[in-house]
Chains A and B, each alone.
Chain A
Amino acid sequence: MTDHTDHSHLSDTELRVRALESLLVDKGLVDPAALDAIVDTYENKVGPRNGAKVVARAWVDPDFKQWLLRDATAAIDSLGYTSTQGADIVVLENTAKVHNLTVCSLCSCYPWAVLGLPPAWYKSFPYRARAVKDPRGVLQEFGQDIADGVEVRVWDSTAEVRYLVLPERPPGTEDMAEEKLADLVTRNSMIGTDRLTGGGAG
């Protein structure tokens, strides 16, 4: 459909969003400034760095790690990263024998408070379906060959429980400070589609 007139254009979807927002504002149900603040938070302030800091703390502080594995919601809350969706977070520890992979097979529940918003592939049906059916194949596509002796566990998130993977601390990082360690932690390693390699031992 071409439209060569010089008036403005909004897509059908944009019109629907405007209709929804303006009606909710008229009824006093939403405050535009509050919406801007939410968008700003999720675009600029929350993101995988929060999760990376949680992971780095667990690597250097055994007591924090135990707390995190026992009651992740409280342990993460203590660092100031609180979920407003009322979902509990459960942390899954990767070891030499177990690799954890997280998914939301129904929609795309995700631990926003620590990882920000999910990447496109996490929201896609192929990932949601295949992570459950063929986790090793999915991991392979992400460049991770998981040895036969390692158990792969898949965790399906719900509206009540979100998962965060605690990746293994890479070899050669024993002397690294917590802040540097956090820089090594990738978003995908906390979803479970990545494993961390050495920290460049030098």
Chain B
Amino acid sequence: MSSEQNLPTRAELPAMPRDEDGPVFAEPWQAQAFAMTLWLHEQGHFTWPEWAERLSEVISAAQADGDPDRGDTYYLHWLKALETLVAEKGLLTGEALRERKDAWDRATRATPHGQPIVLP
């Protein structure tokens, strides 16, 4: 891999986060992002190598921006890669995503605590 010579030396690296079996997904949104990716792939919207390439690009960019990348930010990278790929494949536009996110934000603020959040 071309990035190999740029890897920090061992002394510069933080300890690996080690866990026992641990939860598969730390939060429900991670599971949703994961499942959407698998489903879109299975439906033929992109190939798995295309997906892996986007994901590794996002991870490399985050590292360059100072993410220590200890595994806990993994699904954030996953989500960004998915947003990028669906836009690239013409499934959704970045603009539509932003508008819909704002709509959910407004709906959330308008919903009393404890009630299901729905779009108007």
Contact = CB atoms under 8 A, between A and B. Distances in A.
Interface string B53-70: 101100110010000111
A22 B40 contact: no
Interface stretch (A72-80, A90-98, A119-127, A177-185): A119-127
A134 B16 CA distance: 13
Given A129-B13, A159-B51, A27 B32 contact: no
B109 A7 contact: yes
A2 interface: no
Contact of B36 (A24, A27, A130, A142): A24
Main secondary structure of the interface of B (DSSP, over half): helix
Q: How large is the interface on A (under 10, 10 to 19, 20 to 34, 35 or more residues)?
A: 35 or more
A35 interface: yes
A133 interface: yes
Interface stretch (A54-62, A106-114, A168-176): A106-114
* Residue among A8, A36, A137, A141 facing the most chain B CB atoms (10 A cut-off): A8
Interface of B: 1, 3-4, 7-8, 10, 13-19, 21-22, 24-25, 29, 31-36, 38-43, 45, 47-49, 51-53, 55-56, 59-60, 63, 68-72, 74, 76, 79, 82-83, 86, 91-92, 96-98, 100-101, 103-105, 108-115, 117, 119
10 contacts: A7-B112, A7-B113, A8-B113, A13-B29, A13-B76, A20-B33, A34-B39, A35-B36, A43-B31, A119-B19
Interface of A: 6-10, 13-24, 27, 29-31, 34-36, 38-39, 42-43, 84-87, 105-109, 116-117, 119-127, 129-130, 132-134, 137-138, 141-142, 156, 158-160, 187
